[in-house]
Structure 1
Amino acid sequence: MIEITFYGHSAFLITIDGKKVLFDPFITPNEKAQSIDIFKISPDYVLVSHGHADHVADVEEIAKQSGAMVVSNFEIISWFQQKGIENVHPMNHGGSKVFDFGRVKYVNAVHSSTLPDNSPGGNPGGFVIETASGTFYYAGDTALTYDMKLIGEEFSIDFAILPIGDNFTMGIDDALKAADFVGTDKIIGMHYDTFPYIVLDREQANQKANAARKELVLLEIGEKIILGK
């Protein structure tokens, strides 16, 4: 069973057979997510796609409070180690690692990645998570890329968490193509509505998804859904 809780922007807690995996926590600075208490999340893992502040803002606080393992690229992990976080696992593009909740592969993203203090954040990425309960793609911030076709060739993707806010990432049109590339009909939207630059026309996005015969899931902050076997 895979339980998905949305914490706003690109932050998701995904519970996989009892293990709690948190992605890109940007919660306390997000005015739309003030109802969320980060100290009640207590994840087992924190996966970080890239170094921008709207993806790493709460990583240090949550990792130190919970003891969660932080997983990201080498540069981001090194940065957090300098902040005293010891439970870490570095990765890089094309590499995979089996954790107790499933196999994680760190895949390409087309974006930028500078940490909040202007330290280099390495190259941005996304994650494919392969588990006994299902396989999904968390894209991070990215443009549409043909590399996504390789994901569809290697994995049977049950659903994809894709940025749809446009301007800084893919918009809905490219996200629908990305879903085709990775081979799924179910998109969970992220990276929209948080800032004026990325306000989503929900009616238009749903119309385009319906026309493409895709299911577009737009969660409310704090909402939970259950997917998988």
Structure 2
Amino acid sequence: MKVSYHGHSVVKVETANHTILFDPFISGNEACDLDANTIKADVILLTHAHNDHVGDTFEIAKRNDALVVAPNELANYLSSKGLNAHPMHIGGSREFDFGKVKFSQAFHGSSYTEEDGNVVYGGMPAGILLTVEGKTIYHVGDTALFTDLKMYGEMNDIDVAFIPIGDNFTMGPEDALVAADWINAKIVVPVHYNTFPVIEQDPDDFVSKVRTGEGKALKIGEGIEL
């Protein structure tokens, strides 16, 4: 299995039988190396409804007939637009043919802005624990630091954690280091930084300070074999 990073919060998981995308913000994301018009995906996992996370979900899901798994209100909205969306909620888990998905807490906002400026409430934001082929990947989502991250670390044997470091909209590097201690993943990868000037950070400096697990600042398109 290969897990790769593609800028902002975009993560791709390639298993023996499925390609899974987290938060596919591709078009309009200069840091992303993927092509929304050609990328193949069987599953899209969404942490919340903000446009820089829903991204190209509509186009990718329709072209690939992909399943979209998202928080309840967001999933219902996507279903109303013709997508094959499965609703979940924080604390819930489900076994799919591609792996097990569990939604965790995240402290953030969640709304989708349509092209005409209409703002749609997206339900509660979340993190996502994906267990596939015996490995667990934790996409923490957009969040502040909160103590239940320690609980998630204690309850799960996490192989890779994708943790936001951008600050301003999410936790910054100092809080993310605490989160990494609590989550206790084998590998810690920083995400949600340098997409916009307000979230500019030094990922190499962050990973050099990671105290628990191995910090890896993945270059755009770079992956980890699990």
TM-score (norm 2): 0.92
Q: Which runs of structure 2 are paired with 1:185-200 in the superposition (5 Å)?
A: 185-200=186-201
Q: Which of 4-13 and 56-65 deviates more?
A: 4-13
Distance in 2 separating the partners of 1:176 and 1:185: 14
Q: Give the aligned partner of residue 217 of structure 2.
A: 218
Q: Give the aligned partner of residue 182 of structure 2.
A: 181
1:112 and 2:109 correspond: yes
The structural deviation recorded for 1:77 is 0.8
Q: Give the aligned partner of residue 24 of structure 2.
A: 25
Q: Which runs of structure 2 are paired with 1:82-97 in the superposition (5 Å)?
A: 82-85=80-83, 87-97=84-94
How many residues in Structure 1 have an aligned counterpart in Structure 2?
Answer: 222
The structural deviation recorded for 1:203 is 4.5
Distance in 2 separating the partners of 1:74 and 1:21: 19
The answer for unaligned runs of 5 or more in structure 1 is none
The structural deviation recorded for 1:9 is 0.6
Q: Give the aligned partner of residue 14 of structure 1.
A: 13
* Deviation readout 1:31-88 (Å, 9 max, x if unpaired): 222x421233211100000011100120000000111100001111111112111x22
Distance in 2 separating the partners of 1:217 and 1:203: 8
The structural deviation recorded for 1:214 is 4.1
Report the secondary structure of 1:88's partner residue: strand
* Alpha-carbon spacing, 1:109–1:16, altered in 2? closer, same or farther (3 Å): same
Distance in 2 separating the partners of 1:176 and 1:16: 29
TM-score (norm 1): 0.91
Report the secondary structure of 1:115's partner residue: strand
The structural deviation recorded for 1:174 is 1.5
* Alpha-carbon spacing, 1:184–1:60, altered in 2? closer, same or farther (3 Å): same
Contact map agreement 1:164 1:189 (CA 8 A) in 2: yes
Distance in 2 separating the partners of 1:122 and 1:66: 25
Distance in 2 separating the partners of 1:98 and 1:47: 14
Q: Give the aligned partner of residue 55 of structure 2.
A: 57
Distance in 2 separating the partners of 1:78 and 1:88: 7
* Alpha-carbon spacing, 1:109–1:38, altered in 2? closer, same or farther (3 Å): same
The answer for unaligned runs of 5 or more in structure 2 is none
CA RMSD of aligned residues (A): 1.5
* Alpha-carbon spacing, 1:44–1:217, altered in 2? closer, same or farther (3 Å): same
The structural deviation recorded for 1:133 is 3.1
* Deviation readout 1:159-200 (Å, 9 max, x if unpaired): 201111111111122122112212224211110010001111
Contact map agreement 1:126 1:139 (CA 8 A) in 2: yes
What percentage of residue pairs aligned between the two structures are identical? Answer: 43
Contact map agreement 2:190 2:203 (CA 8 A) in 1: no
The structural deviation recorded for 1:201 is 2.3
Report the secondary structure of 1:81's partner residue: helix
Contact map agreement 1:110 1:141 (CA 8 A) in 2: yes
Report the secondary structure of 1:153's partner residue: helix
Distance in 2 separating the partners of 1:202 and 1:189: 6
Report the secondary structure of 1:25's partner residue: coil
Contact map agreement 2:3 2:11 (CA 8 A) in 1: yes
* Alpha-carbon spacing, 1:64–1:161, altered in 2? closer, same or farther (3 Å): same
Q: Give the aligned partner of residue 79 of structure 2.
A: 81
Distance in 2 separating the partners of 1:173 and 1:185: 19
